[in-house]
């Protein structure tokens, strides 16, 4: 590995395409880097966060064929966003599955989850390509909605991104352990029940909105058909009137010949 490859921070001094936004292929590569590095790190949890960060960057750098250059910090920041929004989407998936009726297809559930996500967070879900990669991994094996907080770190650990509340090492610790293993208190269950009721109400509202849109579409189609029939009737009447006048004229001529 060259000197420029050995230290992720060197990238910032190079003239590269670092400033452009991440694309879908880069997101997928970052997901692969995180998964490969996380699986490798499961059995050595004491690995420091900065080492883990560099391993992710190294994997991304070695497999990057897109002509872009990313620092370890930019990759960590991007992963934090992917992790956060993907977990939000999984929360929507879980809520949709909890109230879905029998016969609802998986695609319908995904579409409903997207609608619920947009309704809750006021933006479209932009990381479906990452979700497709991550959905079968142990960390995401049970759909959930969780807000990530930074857990207290060991004294010899260093934060990957200061102040952003995201820790890749924390992701490793959660990689094989199911969420919600502790018994929840009664007040937490009550909150969950109330939240589920609110989500059911939102889903009912969305279904009612779809029904209204569907009925309105049918009404407009019927109105278009009615107008079309009226136009045909008018055209027929236009053709009938000259014919009627012609018949009357012929009758008058025939009557006059009898006089």
pLDDT digits (tens, 9 = 90+) for 61-116: 888 888 888 888 888 888 889 889 998 998 898 898 888 788 889 898 999 999 99
Q: Tokens representing 55?
A: 């391993």
Whole-angstrom CA distances from 258 to 62, 247, 248, 250, 254 are 108, 17, 16, 13, 7
Predicted pLDDT at 160: 34
- Which pLDDT belongs to residue 49? 64
- Write down the domain spans for the chain: 3-182, 191-259
Least confident of 107-111, 147-151, 178-182, 241-245: 147-151
Q: Average pLDDT for residues 111-134, to the nearest whole number?
A: 91
pLDDT higher than 80, residue 226: yes
| pLDDT above 70: residue 150 | no
Mean pLDDT rounded to a whole number for the chain: 72
In contact, 66 and 14? CB cutoff 8 Å = no
Average pLDDT over residues 244-258: 71
What is the per-residue pLDDT for 13?
Answer: 35
In the chain the beta strands, taken as DSSP E runs, fall at none
**SS percent in the chain: helix, strand, coil, step 5:** 70, 0, 30
**Model confidence over 169-221: pLDDT tens digits?**
455 444 444 344 455 567 677 777 777 888 888 888 888 888 888 888 888 88
CA atoms within a 13 Å half-sphere pointing along the CA-CB vector of 94: 17
pLDDT > 70: percent of the chain: 67
Q: 39: helix, coil or strand?
A: helix
For 73, other C-beta atoms within 10 Å of its C-beta total 18
Residue 121 predicted with pLDDT over 90: yes
**Residue 213 vs residue 3, higher pLDDT:** 213
| Res. 117 pLDDT band, cuts 50 70 90 | very high
Q: What is the pLDDT of residue 142?
A: 52
pLDDT band at 120 (very low <50, low <70, confident <90, very high): very high
Of residues 227 and 259, which shows the higher confidence score?
A: 227
């Amino acid at each position: 590995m060259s000197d420029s490859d050995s230290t992720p921070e060197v990238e910032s001094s190079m003239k590269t395409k670092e400033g452009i936004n991440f694309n879908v292929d880069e997101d997928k590569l970052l997901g692969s880097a995180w998964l490969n590095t996380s699986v490798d790190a499961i059995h050595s949890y004491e690995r420091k966060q900065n080492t883990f960060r560099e391993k992710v960057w190294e994997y991304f750098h070695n497999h990057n064929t897109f002509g872009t250059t990313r620092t370890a910090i930019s990759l960590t920041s991007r992963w934090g966003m992917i992790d956060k929004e993907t977990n939000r989407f999984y929360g929507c998936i879980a809520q949709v599955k909890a109230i879905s009726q029998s016969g609802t297809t998986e695609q319908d559930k995904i579409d409903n989850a997207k609608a619920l996500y947009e309704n809750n967070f006021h933006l479209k879900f932009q990381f479906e390509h990452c979700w497709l990669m991550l959905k079968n991994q142990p960390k995401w094996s049970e759909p959930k909605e969780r807000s990530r907080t930074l857990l207290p770190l060991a004294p010899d650990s260093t934060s990957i991104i200061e102040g952003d509340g995201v820790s890749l090492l924390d992701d490793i610790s959660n990689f094989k352990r199911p969420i919600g293993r502790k018994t929840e208190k009664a007040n937490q269950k009550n909150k969950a029940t109330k939240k589920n009721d609110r989500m059911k109400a939102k889903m009912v509202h969305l279904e009612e909105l779809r029904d209204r849109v569907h009925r309105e579409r049918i009404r407009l189609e019927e109105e278009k058909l009615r107008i079309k029939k009226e136009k045909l009737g008018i055209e027929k009447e236009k053709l009938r009137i000259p014919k009627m006048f012609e018949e009357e004229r012929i009758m008058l001529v025939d009557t006059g010949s009898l006089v």
